Structure 1
Amino acid sequence: MVHTCVVAGCRNRRTPGTGLSFYRFPRDPERKQLWIAAVNRQGWAPNDGSRLCSTHFISGKQVKNPRSPDYVPSVFTPISPEMKEPSRPEVPDKQEARVEAANALLFLQRQGGSGLEEPGPMDANIEGSVSSLTDDDDDDNDDESLNEDGDEMLAQSSVNFDDVLKALRRENRALRDSVEKMSLSENFLRNDAEKVKFYTGLPNFFVLETVMLLLAPHMDAIRNAKLSKFQQLLLTLMRLRLDLRNQDLAYRFGVRVGTVVRTVHHVISIMSSTLVPTAVFWPSRAELRKNLPAALRSSCPDCAVIVDCFTVPCEGPVARGNEQGATAACNILNYLMGVAPQGVVTFISRGVLGNFSPRNLAESSGFLAKLLPGDVVLASRDLDIGDAVAARGARFGIAGCIQDDESRRVEGSLPDTTGVQAHVERVVSMVRRRYTMLTGPVERPFTTAAERTSNLSTFDKIVQVACALNNLCISAAPLE
C-alpha cells in the first residue's frame, strides 16, 4: 500500500528510494491526542490508514520516551526528500546511542539548561534504556517502524528488490525441501531405494507406493490428525521391519505412545484383510508346473509346496484356553509355513501355543486340505507329517527321500532334491531377517485376539503381513 503523509502541505509518499519512514498514530489515547493537536487539522481525525512521515521529527524518527522531544512530532515545515542527502548507514548500536544523546541534550536545552555540557556515555546509555521501554498498545508501530527502517537501509544501499525477492524465494524453497527430507514422509523415501529397504523391507519406492494405493481406500476410517495415511503405513512397517519400541516411534513421528499402538493395530488389521489375500495364496497345479524351477522340473514335476515350522518366543506366559494340547500358560508360538518351489510363501498357519507337534499343527491349520492327490510335499527335515500327507493321496519327501503311498521311504527317488533341501529354511530366515519383529520376543498385547469373531491374534496377522510383504520382493532363494 502507498501511504501519504497526513500533514497539510506535506506531499511525501512512501515510494522506493525516498529513504523516509511512515508511522501510525499511537494507540495510547493521550499520546494520540498530542499527535492530532500537533498536526493541527481542523475537524480531522486519523483512521487506521493515516500515516505521519519521519520528516516531522527532529531526529528523523519517532521516539517512545516521553522525555524525548520526538515523543510528539514538532517539525511542520515541509521538507522535500531530495533535500536530505542519504548518509551511509551506521552501526545500529552507535547510531541509536547518538540519537538518544541528541534527544537528551535538546530536552535539557528546552528546560532552560543552556550552556550545559553534552551528556556523556553514561547519560546516553540511561536515555537509551528508558527509550527502549515500550507500551503494549504501540506494538504495531514498532513492527512497522522496523520494517520501514529496513526498507530505508535497502534503498540507501541501492539493492535490487527483484534480486532480493528471488533470493528469498530460493532460500524458502531450500528450507522447505530440507524440512521435508528430514520429516518421515513421501519425500523422505522417494528416489532412495536404500532408505526404502532399510525402513520398510520393500525393494523400492514404487512397490511401497503400490501398497499404499491398495490400502488407502480402506484407511479412511482411521482418524488421525497428526499422521497422514502414508505416515501411518510407514510407522507400521518400521515397527515390523526394525522392531522399534512404541516410545521410539512416538518420538520419531511426534505423537503419543497411544497413537502409535492404535495405528499399528489398525493398519495391521487392514493389511491382513486387504494385502494378505492378494499376496499369499495357494496357486493352482497348472501355475505351479508352468513356473517350476529347472532343478525340480525333471525330477519332481508334481512338487506343490516345501514346508517347515518355526517358533517365536513370547515375553511372558500366554494363556489360551481354546487350543487343544496347549498348557494353561505357554510362552512359545508355533507356525507352519508353506513355500512354493518358486520361492514365495503360499501358506502360513496361525500361531499355536505350547509344544505342538508338526503333525498336529498341519492337521489343525488347514494345510492338508489344500493338497491334491498326486502332489509332492517336500521338507528340509523330518516333520513327522508323512502319514497325514499320504492320507490326502499326496507324497512326502525329506532331503533326497520320498515316501510312497504306503508310507515307506524309498532312498534316491528324488536325486535332485538335495539342492533344495534348505530352500524353505532360507525363505523362513529371509522373512524373519527382513522383518525383525518375527524373531520375538512377542509383546503380550499382540498375543491376544484383536477381534472376538476371529481366532487370529494381532501377532498372527503380523506374521501373515510379513509373508505377504516378502512375496512382493525378489524371490529369497531362486532355484534356477
Structure 2
Amino acid sequence: MVHTCVVAGCRNRRTPGTTLSFYRFPRDPERKQRWIAAVNREGWVPNDGSRLCSTHFISAPLSPEMKEPGALEILDKQEARVEAANALLFLQGQGRSAVDDSRQEERPGEREREDLVEDSASSSLSSDEDDDDDKETLINCKRGKFAQASDVPVNFDDTLKALKKENQFLKESVEKMSLSENSLRNDAEKVKFYTGLPNYFVLETVMWLLAPHMDGMKNVKLSKFQQLLLTLMRLRLDLRNQDLAYRFGVKVGTVTRTVHRIVNIMSSTLVPTAVFWPSRAELRKNLPASLRASHPDCAVIIDCFTVPFEEEQQQRGLSRPHGAGSSHNMLKYLIGVAPQGVVTFVSRGVMGNVSDKRLAEGCGFLCKLLPGDVVLATRDLDIGESVAARGALFKIAGACQEDGHGRSEGSPPPDPASDTASVQRHVERVIAMVKRRYAMLTGPVESPFTSASERTSTLSTFDKIVQVACALNNLCISAAPLE
C-alpha cells in the first residue's frame, strides 16, 4: 500500500527504494492530539491509513528497536520459505488453493509488513510502554504470518513421494501418447489404426522378420521399430512426409529415405513369404464349401484395378497434351485372389490405357497356371485363349451367360443369390479392403514412387508398395470370406 505523509505541504510518499520511514498515529490520546496539531490541518482527523514521514521527527531520538536492521530481513526470509513450500504443494496438485490464497493475501501481507515497521517506529516515538507492546506485536505478527502459510502442513518426505508418483504418472502419459513399442504393445486398436495389422503380435512378427535385414543401415536416427512404424503409417494413412517428419522428430529427407529403404526390404522378404501361389493340394484342402460343387478346380479369381498418378505436367502447372484422356494418368494392376480370400498374385503396374489381355499376358500370371486349373473372373478379360494355351480354363463367374462372351443363347440369367454369384464380387471386395486398409493405394501416386527403386529391378517403388500392402493384408483376417 502506498502511503503519503499527511502533514500540510509535505509530498513525501512511500515508494520502492525510499529511505524514509512512515509512522502511524499513536494510540495514546494525548500524544495523538499533539501529532494532529503538528499536522497543521484545521478540522482534520486521522484514520487508520494516516501516516507521518520521518522528516518531521529529525530531532526525536529513535529507540534501538527502530534501528534494528534485521527486522525486515527476517520477514523476507520467512516469506521466501513460505513461497518455496507453496511451490512444492502446487507441483503435487494440492497447492493450487494455497497459491491462490497467497495471491489474494499478497497485498494484505505487504500492508501488514509495512504496518509492522510503522508500529515499531511510532511506538519508539511514543513511550516505553508502547515500545514493549509494539515489540510483542511485531513478534506475534511474524509468527502469525508464518503460521498462516503453514495452515497446510508441509511434510517434505510426503511431498517427495507425491512428486515421484506424479513424475511416474507423467512418464506413463507421455509414453502412452508417443509412437513407441510400449505404447502399442497392449493397444490393439492403436496398432490397427496406425499399421492396418490386427494386433501387436502380428506387428512384432513382421518386425522380427525384417530386423536382420536392417542391420547394415548407417546414420539412422530412428530405431528399427520406428522405421517400420513410420513406413506402415505412410502406407496406412497416406501421411505426407513433412507430417511424419514432425511426428518422429526427423528431417523430411530422412522420412523419404526410410520409406524407400523399408519398402525395398519388405518387398524382398515379406512379399515372398505372404504373397505366394499355393499348391493345388492346399487349394483343394481349404476350398470354401460354396465352390466345391461348382468349381472344385478353381485356382484363382482375378481382376484388374487402377491407381491414378500425378503427372509431371500437372505438378509443374502445365496443361495435358491435347487428346490425352484420364486413362493415361493411371497405373493398372492385375491381382489374383485365392478362393479363401488371400492375395496370391500381383502384377507390376503398367502406365497408360493398356488392355486387360496385354497386361495378363505380359505380367507372368499365365506362368503360374497348371493344366486343369480353373480361372474365375468377374468380367470378361479377353484372356480365354491365353489361359487355354496353358491347359487351364477361364470362366466368368456369375456372368458367364452374357452375349458376346461365349455363353449359349437362351440360357437363363444368373441367380444373384446363388453361390456362384457370390464369387462375382469376391475380388472387388478384396481390392476394396486392401485400398481401405492402406490408403496410399487410392492414389494419386507421387512421381518419386513411379520410377524404378533399384537399377537391377523392373519394379517401381509403388509397385513394391502395392505388393507389400497385399502381403500385409494377407496377415489379417480374410477380407472377403466366401462362407
Partner residue in 2 for 1:475:
478
2:444 aligned residue (430, 441, 444): 441
Equivalent residue for 2:356? 358
Greater CA radius of gyration, 1 or 2? 2
1:283 paired residue among 264, 269, 278: 278
Question: Could you say which residue in structure 2 is the equivalent of 1:180?
Answer: 175
1:167 aligned residue (162, 168, 180): 162
- Does the Cα contact within 8 Å between 1:402 and 1:413 map onto a contact in 2? no
Partner of 2:238: 243
Gaps of 5+ in 1: 1-56, 64-89, 104-113, 116-152, 319-326
**One-letter identity of the residue aligned with 1:346:** T
> Equivalents in 1 of 2:302, 2:238: separation in Å?
26
**Structure 1 residues 271, 296: closer, same or farther in 2, change over 3 A?**
same
Going from structure 1 to structure 2, the CA distance change for 1:254 and 1:300 (only over 3 Å counts) comes to: same
Q: Which residue of 2 aligns with 1:343?
A: 341
Cα deviation, residue 356, structure 1: 1.4
Determine which of 297, 310, 313 is the counterpart of 1:302.
297
Q: Give 3-state SS (helix, strand or coil) of 2:424's partner.
A: coil
For 1:122, the equivalent position in structure 2 comes to: none
Q: Report if aligned partners of 1:307, 1:339 keep a CA contact under 8 Å in 2.
A: yes
- 1:367-378 aligned at under 5 Å gives the runs 367-378=365-376
CA contact (8 A) 1:401 1:409 kept: no
Aligned to 1:313: 308
Cα distance in structure 2, aligned partners of 1:226 and 1:178:
24
Relative to structure 1, is the Cα distance of residues 413 and 304 closer, same or farther in structure 2, using a 3 angstrom cutoff? farther
Distance of 1:266 and 1:93 partners within structure 2: 64
| Secondary structure of the structure 1 residue equivalent to 2:458 | coil
Shift of 1:59: 7.6
- Measured against aligned partners, the alpha-carbon deviations of 1:309-367 in whole angstroms (never above 9, x if no partner) come to 0111111059xxxxxxxx9x953211010000000000001111122111211121111
Matches within 5 A, 1:119-138: none
Letter in 2 for 1:352: V
| Equivalence for 2:120 | none
3-state secondary structure, aligned to 1:477: coil
**Does 2:184 align with 1:189?**
yes
In structure 1, the residue matched to 2:51 is none
SS at match of 2:329: strand
SS of residue paired to 1:315: coil
Q: Secondary structure at the match of 1:308?
A: strand
Write the distance in 2 (CA, Å) between the matches of 1:95 and 1:408. 100
Q: After superposition, give the CA deviation of every residue in 1:78-134 in whole Å (9 maximum; x if it has no partner).
A: xxxxxxxxxxxx98999899999999xxxxxxxxxx99xxxxxxxxxxxxxxxxxxx
Question: How far is 1:162 from its partner?
Answer: 3.4
Go from structure 1 to structure 2 and tell me whether the alpha carbon gap of 1:412 and 1:233 turns closer, same or farther (over 3 Å shift). Answer: farther
Q: Does residue 417 of structure 1 match 2:420?
A: yes
Q: Name the counterpart of 1:230.
A: 225
Runs of 4+ in structure 1 off by over 6 angstroms are: 57-61, 90-103, 153-158, 410-415
What do you get for the CA RMSD once the two structures are aligned?
Answer: 3.8
* Gapped regions of structure 2 (runs ≥ 5): 1-69, 77-101, 118-123, 126-147, 314-324
CA displacement, residues 114-166 of structure 1 (integer Å, 9 cap, x when unaligned): 99xxxxxxxxxxxxxxxxxxxxxxxxxxxxxxxxxxxxx99998644432232
**TM-score w.r.t. structure 2 length?**
0.64
Deviation at 1:409, TM superposition (A): 4.8
Residue in structure 2 matching 1:199, options 187, 194, 202: 194
- Distance apart, 1:474 and its partner CA: 0.5
Amino acid at match of 2:301: I
Aligned to 1:430: 433
Greater fraction helix? 2
The DSSP-based 3-state class of the residue aligned with 1:300 is: coil
1:155-195 deviation line (CA, Å, top 9, x unaligned): 99864443223212111110101111122212333322222
Report sequence identity in percent: 72
Amino acid at match of 1:385: I
Change (3 A) 1:163 1:401: same
Change (3 A) 1:270 1:97: farther
1:452 to 2:455 alignment: yes
Number of equivalenced pairs: 348
User: 3-state DSSP class of the match of 1:334?
Assistant: strand
Match of 1:398 in 2: 396
